[in-house]
Each structure stands twice: as structure tokens, then as C-alpha cells.
A = this chain, B = another copy of it.
Amino acid sequence: MVKITDVATAARVSAATVSRTLNNNEKVDPALAARVREAAERLGYRPNAVARNLRRQGTQVWALIITDINNPFFTALARGVEDVAQESGFSVLLCNSDEDIDKEARYLGVAEQERAAGVILSPRATTSDVSRLLASNIPLVAVDRGLGVSVDTVRADSVQGAVAATEQLLRRGWQRPACITGPADAETAEERHLGYQSVVRRLGLDEIVQHVRFQAEGGQQAVQALFDAAAPPDSLFVANSMLALGALAELKRRRLRVGRDIGLVTFDDAPWASLIHPTITVVAQPAYDIGAEAARILVQRIRKEGPTEPQQVLFGTELIVRQSCRRRKPHRSADTVPSTS
């Protein structure tokens, strides 16, 4: 492995000059600089980032810890983070906590030990322990879900989105909507539940809620539980697209026809939502923008610019009405049915 002193020797200058040239920090004599670059090129020199990080007491790497790499919401968010990071000279270490509090803790530990320049975290629970990170003065931005402690947070308005979704079901004439959501200690799960709750309570309807893991299997289990029960719902508000995947599969298995026998609205406009039959009515979140905004805030924190108090950014959501919330019978041929929305 060729190192800086090898380049220095080859270019007949000191290591400091090589460093200065390659970091083009200070003015170096063009002739020397040329010799340095030529030597570095010829020897195939790659600066050792580990040594540089140690000396500089800091890295150029972020940890982005998300709860589910299979969820298109998070991959879109990750792209938003990545694009802004790239522009600002940072690399992104993407970690999948898999909705597992231990994995999350492990990754937070790695981020701390590797002295990440910053962390963007989608917390598994509001009680996720980030105290060590804060104690280490590593800037942290929470995305999608908030934390018990006060940190920069970027998310969408889950309550409002859930209200809109539930009201849409009722507007279409459904009368017994149930809510399938994630674990109660995950902020998005609870807020979407609360939005649903506020609507059904206001109208004096039964509150029917299933808390399950935020994964396809959870959605499947929830549908099983709901429709094996004595008084099944007539429609579903589903809190994210992974749950929807499982729920739809199970409904299909039971030959319950969405948009006819059953109404359905789900959070997140997954790529397949407009493709399946019937097309799915969704509450879309600006996932990419959430990630990009979180990244912008993180850059500010690292550079110690901007406001000192924690920022709270709340994006709006958009209800995209498609076929799955319909109640009346569709035409004969499903393929040619225009959306009734």
C-alpha cells in the first residue's frame, strides 16, 4: 500500500507538501504540485481515509438507520438523503434495523464508535435510546418518526393523513372501518391510529384496531384476526404499504374483493399501488423530500450553521383516490373500469 511518504520521496518534496497539494488547501508552487500529482498518479497513491479521519478528528460519513429496507418509502427517503449528502461531500452508510430494537442499538453503537459525522435515524420506537450519540456530540436527525427527546425531526403529518384516509372510507359509504397499524410504541403507528380514532369516535362508530409488526406478515395476521372475529369490519385503513401487501394477499386468499366487498385505503404510494387491481387509494408522503430535508438539516448541524434549537419539520400528505375505497359494484370487465373517483 503506497503511502504519502512514498509519494513525497518520489516527488522529492516533504509529506506536508504532498498533503497540501492533494487537498489543494494552500498555495503550492505549481511546479512542485505538478511533480506531486505525477508521482501520486504514477504510484497509484490513495490517501488513507482512516488516518486522515483520526488526524482530523472527524469523518465524512453519515449513518442512515432505517427500519425496513424493503419498504419503498424508506428507499425513496434514502435517495433523498443520499443526493444531498453527495452534494455536500458526505458518504452515506445505510443500515437496516429491520424494526428490531437490538439491531438499531447495534448500529447506533457502530455509528458512535466509527465517529460518524452525523446520523439520520428512523427510530423503531419513541423510546429508542440515542443518549450515547448525543453525549458524543454526534448530530442526529430523526426522520419519519419522532423520539422522546428533543432533536431535529422531519416527518409527515400522520394524524392528518389518517383522518383523510378514514373520512374517505366513510364518504364512500363504508360503515365499519378498522385500522391496521404498527406497534403502539412506534410514533407513526400510534399517530395513524389516533387519526383514525378521532374520526370513528366523532361519529360514534366502533373502534377496531390491530397492532402488528410493520411488515407484510403483520398485515396478513391482522386481516386473519379481523375477519375471523365475530363482527368483522367492512373496510380497512392500513398504516403502511408493507402491511398493505400482507393484508391484500390475505384478503385475496379469502376471496374478499377489495373495492367491492371491502374498502381499503393505505399509507404510502408504493410503485405497485396504481398497478394492482383494483388500484389502491393511498395517503402519499413526500418520502424523497423528507430525506433530503433531513440531510439539509444535518449538514447545517455539522457546519454549526442555522438555528440552535431543534427543528421540527412537518410535511403534508396527499390523499390519492383510486379504486380500492369504492363501494358500488364495478363494471363487468375489471380491466376497463374507469376510476369512480
Contact = CB atoms under 8 A, between A and B. Distances in A.
Given A48-B113, A91-B107, 11 more contacts: A49-B114, A54-B54, A69-B78, A69-B94, A70-B72, A70-B75, A75-B75, A94-B95, A94-B96, A277-B335, A333-B334
A53 interface: yes
A44 B135 contact: yes
Q: Give the 9 A-B residue pairs with the shortest CB-CB distance, closest first.
A: A277-B277, A272-B272, A334-B334, A94-B94, A49-B113, A276-B276, A93-B93, A49-B114, A257-B335
15 contacts: A46-B109, A46-B113, A49-B114, A50-B54, A61-B114, A69-B69, A91-B93, A91-B95, A91-B107, A91-B110, A93-B93, A93-B94, A94-B95, A216-B271, A332-B333
A46 B110 contact: no
Contact of A272 (B51, B61, B75, B276): B276
Interface of A is mostly: mixed
A290 B79 CA distance: 24
A333 to B, nearest CB: 7
A255 B47 contact: no
Interface of A: 1, 44, 46-51, 53-54, 59, 61, 69-70, 72, 75-76, 78-79, 82, 91-96, 107, 109-110, 112-115, 132, 135-137, 216, 245, 248-249, 252, 255, 257, 260, 270-272, 274-277, 332-336
Contacts of A44: 132, 135
